[in-house]
Amino acid sequence: MPGVVKMVRCMPRLSWRTALPQSEASQQKRCGAKDLGSRPAFCARACPQALWMTAPLVRPIVQFVARALVRPASAAMLRSFIHPRSAMRNPQTSVALLLSLLAGMAHAGPPPTPAAMAAYADKLLDEQKLSRDGPGVTVLIARGDQLLYKGARGAASIELGVPMQPDNLLRIGSVTKQFAAAALLKQIDEGRAKFDDPLSQFLPDYPNGSKITLLQLLNHTSGVKSYTGLPGYMLNPIRRDLSTAELIKEFKDQPADFAPGEKWAYNNSGYVLLGAVVEAISGKPWHQSVDESLLKPAQITTIHFEAGDKLFKGLARGYTLNGQREVAPAGLLSMTQPHAAGALVANTEGLWRWNQALHGGKVLSPASYARMTTPEGVAKPYNYGFGISTDRLRDQTVLTHGGGIQGFTSLLDYLPASQTTVVILRNSDGPGFPMNLVSRKLAAFAMGEPFTEPKPVAVPVEQLKRLEGVYTRDDKTTSELRVKEGVLYSKRGGSPAIALIAMGGDRFAIPNSLAEIQFDRSGDGKATAARVFNNGGTDAERLTRSDDLPPEKVLAPLTPAQMRAVVGDYSSPQFAFKIFVDDRGRLLAQAPGQPSFELRAVGTRQFEVPEVGAQLEFSGEESKAASVTLKQGVNTLVMSRK
């Protein structure tokens, strides 16, 4: 069909750990795609949807390594075309924040009726085809004090056949961070600490603590090694019950990733240290301070620290995918270890009440709130404040954070201009639910500016051909646009090709996203540039057509001997996986306890993993490879054969 597009979904969500070291450049491009195909996941911008834990790279190969979350998402789908950056201009003071809010209110429409909101939300959730016998979700949408929708799908316990209910408790992973941040900011408001206080003032024995400030712990610029990224840590060590001091001992002597304040890198150790500072100041466990100083004054009774020796009525069971991609119980961990980086459980209503209190000025001073929601310094390019990230929807600010932890993913959004809250909690860390995309559609409907589904139109192939070429945003970001069978596809690096939906007037929609592409043409009809609009915004990312298309790679059929040559176990200090042939004759890669991923041959020793935009190249004798080089974006990792 001319003009329409078939699409292969770009991989989604992110993970606590990453298989490869994250470069500053790749992090900066992270699209808040928390979930696109499923996830988010985490691309390379400030991905709060990131697990309780870490931030970025891409989920599948990372899922080789551990579970995960990140953060926001609808732009994730764009990863195959461009890594979109938020166009938002961050307010610099509480006055600027107020002016921004007032300006946005002029664009917010009246709220829909609860009946209209329910009809739309139910339709959107029904489209996800969540089985009653599979993992579920709970969803809440509100504007100000008005509850517009609260619902649930799927099962809270698959084994017992217990349906998910709107008020079920679920683990919220990294959404915990904003509670820990607010607990420390409360201490700062009371004069018991300052942003530039050194860590050593509260933890005298912490290495290099005199050079690490509380501000740097709050916005992930401390350079401290994140314990969730230590090789093998997420397998067995994460199951132990540890005190705060014992947990800090696990990473305190690890070399720093960079000098304090030099860079930004999402970091779970930093929030463990932040929790320890709260304990040192208050003389109480960090979660007790959260409860007493934040939750009780706001009369919130459905957010808790998941202590291992207590029962929580209505707590859903968590699920994942096993090596055969079947639903299975989530991996075990002690909830002492996520600590202030991710150990809370909540229901949707509790998080809505929290949004009302925090963003309604009932928790922090205006100055502290402004700093919490305003990215600054080296964290600014990543749109990350203190446990809260900034994004844009319909040209309005979104204050957001996602979470991911074994068996659970979460997302908490707040739009100040319309006082809109969207909460989505899910008892699965596997793919299959585009959390960020669903959230943004719900928010747009609630604020009176709903998105409509793109309507494809037929475009002559000769017109599509004039759009073909290589498009460049910078030296490291290029995308290829190619017409196949009357369809225009976009492909970035090793990512899968995405079929674009022609809407007429040189406008194309990116499937399963809220992004559109508008092409500019020269006098002869050839495209000169492409402008990418994200989340219904009016600001665009511009890519210039820089070259003609290179010859297309042809998949190389492998002989059984060529497959056997690369089969084996490969490892490095950071990562490990095995290569094997399944009973269908497919060459697969799999990390311990994780789903397998098919390798696509582009040579006898070169392979792609489209789901994660990764390439593998094997070296060694023709009959037996000795090592493999894994490339993902600008990152490279070499692993030896055992």
User: What length is written for the chain?
Assistant: 642
Q: Is residue 48 part of a domain?
A: no
Is there a single domain that holds both residue 514 and residue 408?
Answer: no
What does residue 351 show for φ and ψ, rounded to 5 degrees? Answer: -70, -35
Residue 57 has pLDDT above 90, yes or no: no
CB 434 within 8 A of CB 73: yes
Q: What's the pLDDT at 380?
A: 97
Q: Is 614 inside any structural domain?
A: yes
Among 50-59, 314-323, 417-426, name the most confident range. 417-426
Distance of CA 61 to the CA centre of its chain: 15
Asked, for residue 46, whether it belongs to a domain, the answer is: no
Residue at a domain's end among 384, 419, 446: 446
Assigned domain for 505 exists? yes
The model scores a pTM over 0.85: no
Residue 496 confidence (pLDDT) above 50 = yes
Task: Indicate whether 216 pLDDT > 80.
Answer: yes
d(CA 503, CA 509): 7
Q: Give the pLDDT score at 99.
A: 41
Residue whose token pair is 């009176």: 448
> Helix or strand or coil: residue 190?
coil
Residue 97 in this model has a pLDDT that exceeds 50 = no
Q: Strand (E) positions, 10-144?
A: 137-143
CB 578 within 8 A of CB 570: yes
pLDDT tens track for 153-198: 999 999 999 999 999 999 999 999 999 999 999 999 999 999 999 9
H or E segment at 146?
A: strand 146-153
Statement to judge: residues 498 and 567 lie in one domain: no
Rounded Cα gap, residues 477 and 214, in angstroms: 35
- Are 502 and 627 part of one and the same domain? no
The secondary structure of residue 621, as a DSSP letter, is E
Same domain, 144 and 252: yes
Burial class (CB in 10 A: 0-12, 13-18, 19+), 123: exposed
pLDDT of residue 249: 98
Confidence of residue 10 (pLDDT cuts 50, 70, 90): very low
Most confidently modeled range among 77-91, 409-423, 491-505:
409-423
Q: What is the pLDDT of residue 38?
A: 26
Residues 477 and 574 in one domain: no
Residue found under tokens 């922090």 = 364
- For residue 135, CA distances in Å to 174, 280, 474 come to 20, 39, 41
pLDDT at 552: 73
CA torsion angle 522 525 529 534 (round to 10) = 130
User: Which of the 8 DSSP states describes residue 169?
Assistant: B
What would the mean pLDDT of 414-437 be, rounded to a whole number?
95
Same domain, 432 and 536: no
**Average pLDDT value for residue range 632-639:** 78
Is residue 541 domain-shared with residue 578, that is, in the same domain?
no
Whether 406 has a pLDDT exceeding 80, the answer reads yes
> What sign results for the dihedral spanned by CA atoms 523, 527, 530, 536?
positive
What is the per-residue pLDDT for 269?
A: 98
* CATH code of the domain covering residue 586: 2.40.128
**Position 110 in a domain:** yes
Domain termination residue (choose one: 522, 547, 572)? 547
Average pLDDT, the chain: 83
Residues 499 and 358 in one domain: no
DSSP code at position 377? G
pLDDT of residue 519: 97
- DSSP conformation class of 364: S
Q: Name the domain boundary from 422, 446, 470.
A: 446
Residue 56 near residue 18 (C-beta atoms within 8 A):
yes
Helix (H, G, I), strand (E, B) or coil at 315: strand
**Percent of the chain at pLDDT above 90?**
66
Nearest to 216 by CA among 148, 269, 279, 139: 269
Retrieve residue 497's tokens: 């090709």
Reply yes or no on whether the pLDDT at 96 is more than 60.
no
Q: Under a CB-based contact definition with an 8 Å cutoff, are residues 17 and 61 in contact?
A: no
pLDDT of residue 475: 67
Q: From CA 340, how far away is CA 276, in angstroms rounded?
A: 8
Residues 530-543 have a mean pLDDT of 93
The 3-state DSSP class for residue 44 equals coil
Per the domain annotation, does 212 fall within a domain? Answer: yes
**Cross-strand pairs, 201:** none
Domain CATH code at residue 419: 3.40.710.10
The whole-number pLDDT of residue 476 equals 67
pLDDT value of residue 392? 96
Number of helices (H) and strands (E), helices first, in the chain?
Answer: 15, 31
401, 404, 409, 412: CA torsion to nearest 10: -10
Residue 397 confidence (pLDDT) above 80: yes
Q: What's phi and psi for 640, nearest 5 deg?
A: -95, 150
- Does the CA dihedral 93-99-100-101 come out positive or negative? positive
DSSP 498: E
234 and 127 co-located in one domain: yes
Between CA 79 and CA 81 the distance in angstroms is 5
pLDDT range class, residue 590, cuts 50, 70, 90: confident
Which of 81-95, 336-350, 595-609 has the lowest average pLDDT? 81-95
Judge whether residue 315 has pLDDT over 90: yes
Q: Say whether both 118 and 253 belong to one domain.
A: yes
Q: Which domain holds residue 612?
A: 560-641
Asked whether residue 45 is assigned to any structural domain, the reply reads no
Are 424 and 493 found together in one domain? no
Query: CA 4 to CA 413: how far, in whole Å?
Result: 32
R_g over Cα of the chain: 24
Q: Could you tell me the CA-to-CA distances from 32 to 386, 436, 537 in Å, in that order? A: 16, 8, 15
Q: pLDDT tens for residues 537-554?
A: 999 999 999 888 887 766
- CATH number, domain of 470, equals 2.40.128.50
Model pLDDT for residues 252-307, shown as the tens digit of each residue = 999 999 999 999 999 999 999 999 999 999 999 999 999 999 999 999 999 999 98
pLDDT higher than threshold 60 for residue 378:
yes
Cβ contact 374:185 at 8 Å: no
Residue 451 falls inside a structural domain: no
Same domain, 260 and 303: yes
Which has more confidence, 636 or 37?
636
> Domain count of the chain?
3
Q: What is the mean pLDDT of residues 332-349?
A: 97
